[in-house]
Amino acid sequence: MVQVNIAKAKSSFSEYASRAAYTNENIIITKRGKPFVALISVKDLEFLEKIKAGTPKDGLLGAAGITPGLEEVADKAMEGYRSRTDDVGRKVEI
C-alpha cells in the first residue's frame, strides 16, 4: 500500500490511477499527513460493495458467493452446524 500526499496525487493522478487499476495496488492519498481517500481497483470496489450489501446472517455463505474458493469451506461449515443440531440438549440456530 502506497501513501502519497494530495498535491503529489493531483500532479501524478494518471500514474496512481493506472497503478490501482492494473496492479491492484491500493493508493492512500493523505491530506495534512492523515489518510484522506483511497484509490482502489474497480474489482476491489465491486468486492467491497458485495460485502456491504450482505447481511450478518449471510456470514460465511454470503462470502462464499463472493469468493468462489470459499464455497467448499462454507459447505463444510454448514455440514458441521447441521451435525451439531442433532446434539440433544443444545440448540443451534442456523
Instruction: Give per-residue pLDDT as tens, 42-68.
Output: 998 888 887 777 665 555 556 555 555
**Could you tell me if residue 18 is inside a domain?**
yes
- As for how many domains the chain has, the answer is 2
**Amino acid found at 26:** N
Cell of 2: 502506497
Cell of 73: 469451506
Q: What is the pTM of this model?
A: 0.56
Domain that holds residue 34: 2-41
- Domain co-membership, 32 together with 63: no
- Domain co-membership, 37 together with 61: no
Res. 93: pLDDT tops 90: no
- Domain co-membership, 12 together with 33: yes
Q: What is the pLDDT of residues 11-45, one digit of tens each?
A: 999 999 999 999 989 999 999 999 999 999 999 88
**Could you tell me if residue 48 is inside a domain?**
no
